[in-house]
Structure 1
Amino acid sequence: MKIMAKTDAFIKARIIKGYSQRELAKHSGLSHAYISLLERSIKSVGPATAKKLSDLLEKDLEEVFRIELL
């Protein structure tokens, strides 16, 4: 299983919430570089991290991430 950010939805949710990439990184405990890679769908994310990020963005997990079954 691979969990990837839905780029446009993820960025939009972050901006609506008022977070820069660095601020989201700080609140989530992730690095700014990792947030950047997620937003460009270069890196996948684990289930717990996807849940944490969707909670921070106040969105359902399915709104900002897509789950790919391999």
Structure 2
Amino acid sequence: MGSRHDKTGWLTERDGQWIWRRVEGSQWRLDVGFWTVWRSRKLIGKRVHVLRTRGEFDLLNVDRIEQL
């Protein structure tokens, strides 16, 4: 399993997949569980704080998403 990270960026959605865009320009796909999706669906399009673990090359396993 990858290292843990705690950063901010923009939450977007593309073709049913949640995407997290960093200010620096990088984009990551998010592996988000059902309850995290349900609680944070209103945050799409907003700047958010994401606590996550790197799972694959461009995939992050999300523990928590919070609005800034």
Question: TM > 0.5 between the two?
Answer: no
TM-score range, shorter chain: 0.3 to 0.5
Higher normalized helix content (fraction of residues): 1
Tell me the TM-score normalised to structure 2 length: 0.32
Higher relative contact order (CA 8 A, sep 6+): 1
